[in-house]
Structure formats: structure tokens, C-alpha cells
Amino acid sequence: MSTAAAVELEVVGTRGLALVPAPVQRLLSAGPGGWAGHVERHGPLPHLPGRSEAIRAVVAESGLTGRGGAGFPTAAKLAAVAAGRGGAVVVANGTEGEPASAKDKVLLSRNPHLVLDGVLVAMEAVNAEEALVAVARDDDRSHTCLEAALRERRREARRIRLARVPDRFVAGEESALVHWLSGGEAKPTFKPPRPFERGVNGRPTLVQNVETLANLALVARHGAGWFREIGLEEEPT
């Protein structure tokens, strides 16, 4: 085992999360064992039905930005998809094809319930009936952890499906992902219509990185002020 890997295991495994920066603690502290541990650590999600506008307002106030690379304001995307015509779809992007990157894989295997909470909050915010959580085809660990988490939440499992996408860097780009999930090739188009206008099967689609969604779940629970306690005024963490 390399020194870097040994240090990482020591921080996450042996010493708990005490040495890990606060934003990472927020996302990775899961509580012991599955659903029960998740609720013990984070408490239940607030009541969501009928709160679409209120959720979008608190996300705007929180200043949450996307964690998939571009840092786009999440509230603007929620508003654009919510304004679309036809039943919206939420896609959780957990493909993480960037070489040597593992932040999303760690999150999905350690705290899948927080990501699923974020998916539910996003669905309510954009009035979606359906969501897909996309992981790379070779990422068995994330897939297994998500499957186990969904088995524990049977009610929501009906509306959330898992999808496996080709192990290619470009497959994680949102238009490529949307094509693949609509039965096409996982190739980007980089041109309009963008997924928020016409995405999965032609429906308005919110594509959001899984870390963004985990943060969304925390914002829904603790509010905008809590979220803004860490990070910069213009870019809270």
C-alpha cells in the first residue's frame, strides 16, 4: 500500500473524521449502519410535498454551487427545470470519469442515503416524478451501496432508478449522459437544446452532481445560514 493510501485510511478509518475539514465531515459523517444510522446522524428530512418554491428559495439563499466542475449556481438550474413543460426528470451524476478522482465514489459508498435525500429534495424542487442515479459501469462499489440504500427505502425506490454508463470521461458530461439515458450514445453535443430544456426522453432534466445533491439534502435540513457558516461569501462550501 502506498503512503498516501495509508494516510487516507488512517484519517477516515482509525481516527474517525476529527482531522478532516468541516465541509468533508458534513458530507461523510454517516452514523453507524444503513438507514437507521443515517437518520440517527442527520435526523429525518423535513416534509417536502408542496414545498417546491420554498426549497428553491432556500437553495438560492444558501448560494450552493455545483460540485461537478463548473460551479454553476444550483438555484438557477432548479428554476430553469421547474419552469419547463412536461414532467421533469432528475439525474444524479455520480459517473466521476475524471482520472484519479474519487470524491464522488467515496461519498456514494460512505453516505448513499444523503445523496438519495438530495435526489428527493431536487425532485420536489423541480416537480419531478422520476429520478435516475448514474454511476460508471465499472464502479461496482457505488452501485452496490446505492442498491442497498434503495432497498432500505422502499417507498422512494419506486421513483428512483440506478443506471450504469460507459466508463469514459466524456460520458459524465451532461448532454452525453442524457443521450445515454434516452437510449443513445454517451457522446456530448455541447449545443442546444440543453438538458434543462429537452433532456431524458425529451423532458426537462436536472443534471446535478451527487456531491451537490448531498449538500442540497443538508441545506434542506439545516437551512441557508447553517450552510453559509463555512466557505466564502460568494462561494459557501
Ligand X SMILES: Cc1cc2nc3c(=O)[nH]c(=O)nc-3n(C[C@H](O)[C@H](O)[C@H](O)COP(=O)(O)O)c2cc1C
Q: Residues interacting with ligand X, by CB under 6 A?
A: 66-70, 72, 93, 95-98, 169-170, 172-174, 207-209, 212
Q: From CA 213, how far away is CA 111, in angstroms rounded?
A: 12
Ordered alpha helix ranges (H), 111-228: 112-126, 140-152, 154-157, 174-181, 210-227
Give the closest residue to 17 by CA, choosing from 135, 8, 163. Answer: 8
Q: Which residue has the cell 435516475?
A: 132
Minimum CB separation of residue 14 from ligand X in Å reads 30
Element (H, E) at 24: helix 22-28
- Reference 188, options 206, 173, 167, 205; nearest CA is 173
Q: Name the minimum Å distance from CB 170 to ligand X.
A: 5
Identify how many contiguous H helices and E strands the chain contains and give both numbers: 11, 4
User: Which residues lie below 8 Å from residue 186, measured CB to CB, with a gap of 6+?
Assistant: 165, 166, 168, 170, 171, 176, 177, 179, 180
Query: What is the number of the residue whose Cβ is closest to ligand X?
Result: 66
Work out how close the CB of 173 gets to ligand X at its nearest, in angstroms, rounded to a whole number: 4
Q: Of 150 and 176, which has the nearer Cβ to ligand X?
A: 176
| Residue (44 or 190) nearer to ligand X, CB | 190
CB of residue 193 to ligand X, shortest distance in Å: 15
Question: Which lies closer to ligand X via its Cβ, residue 62 or residue 208?
Answer: 208
CA distance readout (Å), 5 to 2, 9, 149? 5, 6, 27
Question: Which one, 151 or 197, has the nearer CB to ligand X?
Answer: 197
Closest approach of ligand X to the CB of residue 58, in Å = 17
Closest approach of Cβ 119 to ligand X, in Å? 12
Our CB check for ligand X shows the closer of 17 and 224 to be: 224
Residue 99 and residue 6: Cα distance in Å, rounded? 20
If the CB atoms of residues 1 and 70 are measured against ligand X, the closer one turns out to be: 70
Q: Are 149 and 69 in contact (CB under 8 A)?
A: no
Shorter beta-carbon distance to ligand X: residue 68 or 199: 68
Shortest CB 228 distance to ligand X, Å: 18
